[in-house]
Amino acid sequence: MLENLLDTLNVLLLQHPHLLGAMRFLFWFKSWLILCVFSVFVCLVYMEQRLRGKRKTLKRQTQGVFIA
């Protein structure tokens, strides 16, 4: 059944090249969107580590611990 569906889809795309172009655009759009979402999460992880490091130094300084 799956092979028959794929054959039908291939015939449809060969008869309508504008649909093939639309699928190509959607594939690239999806790829760039996934890359952007991944980049945002990586950026958030690095920013959180920086903030966490600043919080630790502030906490140490408020407790009166001497840092050499």
Nearest to 20 by CA among 28, 12, 30, 32: 12
pLDDT of residue 26: 96
Quick: pLDDT tens for 5-57: 989 988 988 999 898 899 999 999 999 999 999 999 999 988 887 777 766 66
Instruction: Tell me what pLDDT residue 61 has.
Output: 57
One DSSP character per residue, 2-65 reads HHHHHHHHHHHHHH-HHHHHHHHHHHHHHHHHHHHHHHHHHHHHHHHHHHHHHHHHHHHHHTT-
**Which pLDDT score, from 0 to 100, does residue 46 have?**
86
Residue 48, pLDDT score: 84
pLDDT number for residue 27: 96
pTM: 0.56
